[in-house]
A = this chain, B = another copy of it.
C-alpha cells in the first residue's frame, strides 16, 4: 500500500495502482486519465482485450463473480473502484474488512444497485422521487396500478441497465407480458413521470467532503439508450438550483466519496424527480473530457488518490452524441465516414475499441463544441449522418 499520510490527509502518489472492476468504455477513459497522470492501472473484466484493458497496464481476465480474481485485483491495487454497478457488493465489503480501499464504498454500491433500496434511501431523506413500491406478486401489481394510475414502470430491482429490466405498462393489456418478461426477479413499480426534459448532473465528492457540481445537462434517450447530451441544459435558473440542491443532498445522504451521476425528470409543472443515481462516471458526463476544465475521469482519479477536486467549470457549450451499433452489422466492424466528420471544427471522436458491434451497442461517442447548444447539436447530428458502421 502506497498511501501516505500528509497532515492527516491520505494521498496516493504515482505510480500507485488503481484497480478498476469492469473493462468497458468508462474504465477505458478512466484508465487513460490515470495513465496520463502517472498512475498504474489494472482492470478486471471477463472479456480479453476489453476496451479498458487495451490502455491499462494489465487486465485480469476473469468473471466478476470470481472472488479469487477480485482478491488478486485488490492485492495489486492501492485503491479499487468500479465502472458499473452489477457486481457483488458483499465481495467488495470483504475486501474493505481486509483494509483495502474501495471507492465508492460497498455500502453505497449495495444501496444503489438495488433500485428499490436506492429509492427508499432517497425517499427517507425527503428527496423527490416518483411514487414507488415493491411488487411481490401479479395481484400486487394489479392492485398498485389501481392506486398509481397508468402508465407505470415495472422494474427489476437489480441488474437492469440501458432499459433492460424495465417495462413501461401503458395499458392493462400490458400487465401479463410485463410480469412474464421480468418473471423470477425481485420487482418494484414506479409511477411513470410525464417529463418535459430528462436532466442529469454529475457531483464529485472527495475524502475531505469537498463537493463540486458539473453543469446540469439535458439528455435525450431513445429505446432507453442515451442518444444526445446537451450542455448546459436549457432550463430556468430556479430549476438549476433545485437540481444542485438535490445533488448536494444526495451525496450528503450517501456520505461517501466518488463521482455520482443523478438523472432526473423535469415535468411540465417545473417539478423534478430523481430517476436514478450512478456511483461512477456516466455517459451523460463524457462531454466533460473536452468541455470542462477537469473531466469526470480525471476528477475520479483525483478522488481515488486523495487529491483536491479540480474545477468543474464549463469551457464551451457542447453536445455529445453516442455512436451505437445498428440493425445491419453484427460482429467485427469498421467505422467509415470519419474524413467528413473530422473536417468539421471542434469535433472530438471517441471510439472504444470494442471488437464487435451489435444493435444499440455503445461503440463510441462524438463531442462537438460550439458557441451555442443549437449549433453544436446541428453539427453533432450531422456527424452521425456521415458515420457508417461497416462489417470488417
A235 part of interface (Cβ distance < 8 Å):
no
Q: Is the CB of B342 within 8 A of A308?
A: yes
Is A193 an interface residue, CB under 8 A from the partner?
A: no
- Option from B4, B49, B339, B350 in Cβ contact (under 8 Å) with A6: B339
Whole-angstrom distance between the alpha carbons of A37 and B352 in the complex? 8
Is A375 among interface residues, defined by CB-CB distance under 8 A? Answer: no
Q: In the assembled complex, which residues on chain B have CB atoms less than 8 Å from the CB atom of A307?
A: 338-339, 342
Given that A15-B353, A293-B345, A342-B302 are known contacts, is A38 also in contact with B335, CB under 8 Å in the complex? yes
Q: Mark A349-362, 1 if CB is under 8 A from B, else 0.
A: 11111010000000
Contact A339 B35 (CB under 8 A): no
Docked complex Cα distance between A352 and B36 (Å): 7
At the interface, yes or no: A9 with Cβ under 8 Å from chain B? yes
Which residues of B have CB within 8 Å of A32?
32, 35-36, 55
Name 20 interchain pairs, CB-CB below 8 A, sorted by A. A2-B334, A4-B336, A9-B339, A11-B339, A13-B334, A13-B336, A13-B338, A15-B353, A32-B36, A36-B349, A37-B350, A37-B351, A38-B349, A38-B351, A54-B57, A293-B345, A307-B342, A308-B339, A310-B342, A310-B345
Does A364 sit within 8 A of B, measured CB to CB? yes
Cα of A334 to Cα of B40 in the assembled complex, Å? 12
Residues of B within 8 Å of A6, CB to CB, are: 339
Chain B contacts for A343, CB-based, 8 A: 308
A261-295 interface code vs B (CB 8 A; 1 in, 0 out):
00000000000000000000000000000000100
| Chain A window 289-314, contacts with chain B (Cβ cutoff 8 Å), 1 for yes, 0 for no | 00001000000001001111011000
Which of chain B's residues have a CB closer than 8 A to the CB of A350? 36-38
Measured between C-beta atoms, what is the minimum distance from A213 to chain B in Å? 16
- Least CB separation from A347: chain B residue: B310
How far apart are the CA atoms of A343 and B212 in the complex, in Å? Answer: 13
Q: When the two chains form the complex, which single residue of B35, B346, B351 contacts A311, counting CB atoms closer than 8 Å?
A: B346
Q: How many residues of A contact B (CB 8 A)?
A: 44
Q: Is the interface of A mostly helix, strand, loop or mixed?
A: loop
- Residues of B contacting A302 in the complex (Cβ-Cβ under 8 angstroms): 342
Instruction: Judge if A14 is at the interface, Cβ distance under 8 Å.
Output: yes
> Nearest Cβ distance between residue A303 and chain B, in whole angstroms?
11
**Is the pair B15, A334 in contact by a Cβ cutoff of 8 Å?**
yes
On chain B, the residues within 8 Å of A293 by CB distance are: 345-346
B11/A35 in contact, CB under 8 A:
no
- Residues of B within 8 Å of A2, CB to CB, are 334
What 1/0 mask marks residues of chain A from 35 to 59 whose CB sits below 8 Å from any chain B CB? 1111010000000010000110100
Q: By the criterion CB–CB under 8 Å, are B342 and A38 in contact? A: no
CB distance from A363 to the nearest CB of B (A): 8
Question: What residues of chain B lie closer than 8 Å to A4, measured between beta carbons?
Answer: 336
Q: Are A38 and B364 in contact (CB under 8 A)?
A: yes
Find out whether the CB atom of B308 lies under 8 angstroms from the CB atom of A353. Answer: no
Task: Pick the contact of A14: B14, B57, B351 (CB < 8 A).
Answer: B351
A4 nearest in chain B by CB position: B336
Which residues does chain B contribute within 8 Å of A315, judged by CB atoms?
315
Q: Which residues of the other chain, B, contact A346 by a CB distance below 8 angstroms?
A: 293, 311
Q: How far is the CA of A11 from the CA of B38 in the complex (A)?
A: 33
Chain A 1-28: CB-based contact to B (< 8 A → 1; otherwise 0): 0101010010101111000000000000
Chain B residues with CB under 8 A of A364 = 38
Tell which of B55, B305, B306 touches A35, judged by Cβ atoms closer than 8 Å. Answer: B55
Q: Are A14 and B54 in contact (CB under 8 A)?
A: no
Chain B residues positioned under 8 Å from A36 (CB to CB):
32, 349-351
| A306 surroundings in chain B (CB, below 8 A) | 339
Residues in B neighbouring A35, C-beta threshold 8 A:
32, 54-55, 353
